[in-house]
Structure 1
């Protein structure tokens, strides 16, 4: 949320979109690391938190 919070106009939407991509990428990296055995599979709670963050970013990026 900090990515776009200080921006105005089209820049704000752009920054929220970038943050959305980064959040999705972070979860994907976590799942990949789990698949390779480097870390435990993310819990349902962690995935739920990522879902809430990405949903919030999605809404803000489309305003």
Structure 2
């Protein structure tokens, strides 16, 4: 999930990401959240304690497998 240009995210975005993560887990695929993240979006993961639920990378290039 490429969130680099996202300036704001709320609980509805977080729920969509968590639902997508669940779907990917069933398919045994990994969901990667690629940034860099805007401060407001990064704060959402921090305040909700959900950062550890995702593999986070600083760019799309580092999210893609070699």
Select the structure that is richer in helix.
1
Q: TM-score, normalised by structure 1?
A: 0.37
Q: TM-score, normalised by structure 2?
A: 0.36
Select the structure that is richer in strand.
2
Largest Rg, 1 or 2? 1
